């Protein structure tokens, strides 16, 4: 595990899941995923809480008394704020927002114990809301539960489950990094095109159970896009990778990386715009929306992993962006469906498809 400051730096990109998309008519589609993002933030804090619990000696929550009023209260600290964040997790909402996901075993351990304290969370951190003796009983129960959580986190079963959860994530990260390394080694400098392709569909409070875009439908859209990509760029596309995500508020969404020769007739911004517009209109029959990462901010500042790249280091950010969420919650897909796939690799001399470790699966 890592310290809180480092973890916040590494995982800041998860907050980018609130999107601004463009639809088939070029209009801005603002997709608010505030609840999803806040919940992911709480999940990240659980990892920091677990690390601090491992090092902490004694009761996590302590009580002091105001000498003037006689009211007892829990002193504020980073550790108590983390406990408060844990107790504020709405387990029912978590499963509602991420209905097709598996949570990291550490998250599951904490969430299993939230419901019994959820109704008391206000009293613990609101001085004077309950009599001192009642507050002492509640705090004692929370401290006892945190001791039990610490024991379970240290158990061999929990460590094994965590290892099994994270192992394929590390494997995917390395595989994608190796794939990019191989492309750079074969072709040198390339044009990297980075896109988020999603849908205009937005789930609101009045239709929280609606699912207009199905897994099969979004898969068909992806396959159709790749067919068109091979027609639009028959000799130029050197490789690609895609990652599928899903949330109740944001529906299905793909992260894409496309790689082209450094010298092309179109700029990377133009290529990304072409792909995005075709996805939004013809590929999805008007249901689609896209975000063009290559369209630089203010016309000057390049977003990470876009445009001309001459090393795999330049693509570190998008590789992390495509794999980091799986360290906490994983999208469950039908057998054989896949949700992180690499594509073709073309040899620098012959530009022909090669078989081997990089699947050509659409």
DSSP labels for 240-254?
Answer: EEEEEEEETTTEEEE
117 has a pLDDT exceeding 90:
no
Residues whose CB is less than 8 angstroms from the CB of residue 38 and which lie 6 or more positions away in sequence, other chains included: none
In this structure, are residues 86 and 45 in contact, taking their beta carbons and an 8 Å threshold? yes
Per-residue pLDDT of 133-153, as tens digits, reads: 999 999 999 999 999 999 999
In this structure, are residues 37 and 17 in contact, taking their beta carbons and an 8 Å threshold? yes
Lookup result for tokens 């050509």: 360
In this structure, are residues 31 and 202 in contact, taking their beta carbons and an 8 Å threshold? yes
List the chain domain ranges. 33-154, 168-342
72 has a pLDDT exceeding 50:
yes
Q: H/E/C letters for each residue in 49-78?
A: HHHHHHHCCCCCCCCEECCCCCCEECCCCH
Query: Taking the CA of residue 201 as centre, how many other CA atoms within 13 Å lie in the half-sphere pointing to its CB?
Result: 25
Per-residue pLDDT of 250-274, as tens digits, reads: 678 888 999 998 887 778 888 888 8
In this structure, are residues 277 and 284 in contact, taking their beta carbons and an 8 Å threshold? no
- DSSP annotation of 327 reads G
Q: Are β-strands 340-342 and 239-247 bridged in parallel, bridged antiparallel, or unpaired? A: antiparallel
Across the chain, mean pLDDT equals 79
Nearest Cα residue to 182 out of 315, 49, 280, 273 = 315
Report the range of poorest mean pLDDT among 173-182, 228-237, 291-300, 319-328: 291-300
In this structure, are residues 260 and 268 in contact, taking their beta carbons and an 8 Å threshold? yes
Could you give the residue ranges of the DSSP H alpha helices within the chain? Answer: 4-10, 34-55, 78-87, 91-97, 105-112, 115-118, 121-124, 132-153, 156-187, 215-232, 268-278, 316-323
pLDDT of residue 351: 42
Tokens coding 247? 């949330």
Mean pLDDT of 305-326: 79
Distance CA 35, CA 89 (A): 11
Angle in degrees, CA 342, 346, 351, rounded to 5: 155
Q: Would you call 133 helix, strand, or coil by DSSP?
A: helix
The more confidently predicted of residues 345 and 58 is 58
pLDDT of residue 333: 74
9 has a pLDDT exceeding 70:
no
Distance CA 36, CA 261 (A): 37
Of the segments 143-157, 189-203, 327-341, which one has the largest average pLDDT value?
143-157
Mean pLDDT of 32-36: 68
Determine how many CB atoms are found less than 10 A away from the CB of residue 141. Answer: 13
Q: What is the percentage of the chain residues whose pLDDT exceeds 70?
A: 76
Rg for the chain, CA atoms, rounded: 24
172 has a pLDDT exceeding 80:
yes
CA distances from 168 to 74, 274, 300, 319 (A): 41, 34, 37, 15
Mean pLDDT of 320-338: 77
Q: Would you call 208 helix, strand, or coil by DSSP?
A: coil
Distance CA 115, CA 101 (A): 20
Distance CA 69, CA 340 (A): 58
pLDDT category at 290 given cuts 50, 70, 90 is confident
């Amino acid at each position: 595990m890592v310290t809180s400051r480092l973890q916040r730096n590494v995982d800041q990109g998860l907050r980018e899941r609130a999107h601004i998309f463009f639809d088939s008519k070029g209009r801005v589609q603002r997709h608010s995923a505030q609840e999803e993002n806040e919940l992911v933030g709480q999940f990240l804090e659980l990892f920091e809480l677990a690390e601090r619990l491992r090092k902490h000696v004694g009761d996590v929550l302590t009580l002091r008394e105001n000498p003037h009023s006689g009211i007892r209260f829990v002193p504020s600290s980073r550790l108590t704020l983390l406990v408060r964040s844990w107790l504020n997790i709405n387990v029912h909402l978590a499963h509602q927002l991420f209905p097709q996901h598996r949570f990291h075993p550490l998250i599951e351990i904490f969430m299993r114990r939230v419901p019994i304290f959820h109704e008391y969370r206000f009293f613990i951190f609101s001085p004077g809301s309950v009599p001192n003796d009642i507050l002492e009983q509640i705090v004692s129960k929370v401290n006892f539960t945190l001791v039990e959580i610490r024991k379970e986190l240290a158990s061999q079963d929990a460590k094994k489950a965590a290892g099994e959860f994270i192992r394929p994530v590390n494997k995917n990260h390395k595989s994608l990094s190796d794939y990019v390394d191989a492309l750079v080694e074969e072709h040198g400098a390339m044009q990297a095109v980075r896109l988020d392709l999603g849908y205009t569909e937005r789930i609101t409070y009045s239709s929280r159970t609606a699912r207009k875009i199905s897994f099969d439908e979004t898969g068909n859209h992806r396959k159709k896009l790749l067919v068109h990509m091979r027609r639009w760029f028959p000799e130029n596309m050197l490789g690609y990778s895609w990652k599928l995500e899903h949330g109740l508020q944001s529906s299905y969404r793909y992260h894409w990386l496309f790689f082209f020769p450094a010298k092309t007739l179109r700029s990377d911004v133009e290529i990304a715009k072409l792909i995005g517009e075709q996805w939004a209109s013809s590929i999805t029959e008007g249901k689609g929306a896209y975000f063009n990462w290559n369209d630089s901010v203010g016309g000057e500042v390049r977003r990470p992993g876009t445009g001309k790249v001459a090393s795999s280091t330049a693509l570190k950010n998008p590789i992390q962006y495509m794999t980091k969420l799986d360290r906490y919650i994983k999208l469950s897909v039908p057998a054989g469906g896949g949700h992180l796939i690499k594509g073709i690799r073309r040899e620098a001399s012959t530009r022909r498809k090669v078989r081997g470790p990089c699947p050509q699966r659409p």
